[in-house]
Amino acid sequence: LEACNRYETYMYNTLEDTRATIRAVGDNLVLHADTYHMNIEEEGFYMPIVNTADVLAYIHMSESHRGLVGSGTVNWEQVWRGLAEIGFAGTLTLESFAAINPDLAAATCLWRPPRQSSETIAREGLAFLKAGAAQAGLI
């Protein structure tokens, strides 16, 4: 169950909100975090990750502007430190968007093209995530 920001939904805006529902439902649900939404809703990155470790299984690693990870305002040091502390063994996935598909661009409110090409975002984004995961001892 993904926690999304208040501009997209009124339910499950923070990781803790989402965790409460997951715990009420049971083991058939896991927490899907997204650093893009966390950047809007959370007061930081480290504590929400640590506090929801018991249900956290999947994370969209996304930048504040949904472009190249590492080039926006997401505090990646807090993200990696939190994941290292909990020994995260779930799935990390790169989530960046380009305005190539008009329907996807409209659905994700991409009103301008990213500064980098899709290929650069994928290549450099993957390198950024691999380096961070290695430094955090996750791989």
**Contact assessment for residue 4 and residue 12, using Cβ atoms and an 8 Å cutoff:** yes
Catalytic choice (16, 41, 42, 95)? 95
| Helix (H), strand (E) at residue 55 | none
Q: Is 2 a catalytic residue?
A: yes
Q: What is the pLDDT along the chain (139 residues), one digit of tens a residue?
A: 999 999 999 999 999 999 999 999 999 999 999 999 999 999 999 999 999 999 999 999 999 998 999 999 999 999 999 999 999 999 999 998 766 677 876 777 666 666 788 889 999 999 999 999 999 999 9
Q: Are 103 and 114 in contact (CB under 8 A)?
A: no
Sign of the torsion angle spanned by Cα atoms 24, 29, 30, 33:
negative
pLDDT at 98: 64
Is 95 a catalytic site residue?
Answer: yes
Q: Among residues 2, 42, 43, 77, which one is catalytic? A: 2
Please state which CATH number belongs to domain 15-135: 3.20.20.150
Backbone angles phi, psi at 57, to 5 degrees: -135, -15
Instruction: Please name the residue that has the structure tokens 């993957």.
Output: 126
Per the rule left: phi > 0, alpha: psi between -120 and 50, beta: everything else, 65 is: alpha
CA distances from 13 to 18, 57, 104 (A): 7, 17, 22
